[in-house]
Amino acid sequence: MIDLKNVNKSYPGAVPLHVLKDVNLQIEKGELVSIMGASGSGKSTLLNILGILDNYDSGEYHLDGILIRNLTENKAADLRNYLIGFVFQSFNLINYKNALENVALPLFYRGISRKKRNALAMEQLERMGMSDRATHLPGELSGGQKQRVAIARALITNPSIILADEPTGALDSKTSKEVMEVFRNLNEEGRTIVIVTHDPGVGEQTNRVIRISDGRIALPDSTITAANQSDIITSAHP
Ligand code: ADP
Ligand code: MG
């Protein structure tokens, strides 16, 4: 589903910042994975590339078999629209629109009638246990409720992949567990889910933890052999 080969990304500047370094990463359809690493290690940059929100400089990224490189904004938006749902730490809800309108918004951009949009949005709110909050503004909802609305919005286009950047970062531990339960259920329906987090408790609730450190994907412990261990030590202490 997701296949990165030697992907590099720098942010330009007087001294360019090399953020992703030869990243190789495969995520199969239907996986529930977390990407963990310290603040500044490149997690959001990686997730933005996976979600075609940002470009990379070299290497190859195939998403669902499609080479993602030099796409026009139209083509990128199309792919995002039919494949990907995003969830963010800060929810990114529109404050002056109520829960139902927020969830329905992606369908507005698809030119679906208001009546149909609202009916579909209500279905998603029901799934998230939020139908009784449909007419509430985000400011009238708790953090966990806001995240449920944001997940309902991500689901309304029926994406096969959900990309979540620190989705529990603004939530207490009990609410965070409940939100993780939602992701686990969505995964059981067959959706591929990638969650960026720095919370080990969240990582534990996924089926595979990918570690990133200073822009490099760490090898899983089991693949560190005597042969490549010396490489790792050498590259860590050049
Ligand atoms: P994480 O999500 O793991 O905290 P990020 O991917 O956000 O890390 O950032 C990795 C590095 O890239 C950090 O040093 C950050 O300051 C820098 N960075 C992130 N976004 C930009 C940007 N748009 N322009 C320049 N530097 C950026
Ligand atoms: Mg981040």
- Please indicate, yes or no, if residue 139 is contained in any of the structural domains: yes
Nearest CA to ligand 1 atom 25: 11
CATH of the domain at 197: 3.40.50.300
> Is residue 106's pLDDT more than 70?
yes
- Please indicate, yes or no, if residue 60 is contained in any of the structural domains: no
Mind listing the pLDDT tens digit for each residue in 42-53?
Answer: 999 999 999 999
- Please indicate, yes or no, if residue 230 is contained in any of the structural domains: no
Mind listing the pLDDT tens digit for each residue in 127-170?
Answer: 999 999 999 999 999 999 999 999 999 999 999 999 999 999 99
Instruction: For residues 137 and 97, give the distance between their C-alpha atoms in angstroms, rounded to a whole number.
Output: 6
Q: What is the rounded end-to-end Cα distance, in angstroms, of the chain?
A: 35
Which residues have any ligand 1 atom within 6 Å of their CB?
A: 11, 17, 19, 37, 39-45
- Please indicate, yes or no, if residue 5 is contained in any of the structural domains: no
3-state secondary structure of 17: strand
Average pLDDT, the chain: 92
| Buried-exposed string 58-89: b where 16+ CB fall within 10 A, e elsewhere | ebebebbeeebeeeeeeebeebbeebbbbbbb
- Please indicate, yes or no, if residue 229 is contained in any of the structural domains: no
Total domains, the chain: 1
- Please indicate, yes or no, if residue 203 is contained in any of the structural domains: yes
Determine if residue 210 is left, alpha or beta; phi over 0 gives left, psi from -120 to 50 gives alpha, anything else beta.
beta
pTM of the model: 0.90
Ligand nearest 12 Cα, by number? 1
Higher pLDDT, 234 or 49: 49
CA contacts within 13 A on the Cβ side of 78: 7
* Beta carbons of 149 and 124 less than 8 angstroms apart: no
Q: Give the tokens for residue 167.
A: 């989705």
* Domain membership of residue 211 as a residue range: 30-55+70-217
Q: Ligand 1 test: best mutation among 19, 48, 56, most atoms within 8 Å of CB?
A: 19
- Please indicate, yes or no, if residue 180 is contained in any of the structural domains: yes
Q: What is the per-residue pLDDT for 236?
A: 46
- Please indicate, yes or no, if residue 50 is contained in any of the structural domains: yes
Helices (H) and strands (E) in the chain, counts: 8, 10
> Is residue 218's pLDDT more than 60?
yes
Mind listing the pLDDT tens digit for each residue in 6-33?
Answer: 999 999 999 999 999 999 999 999 999 9
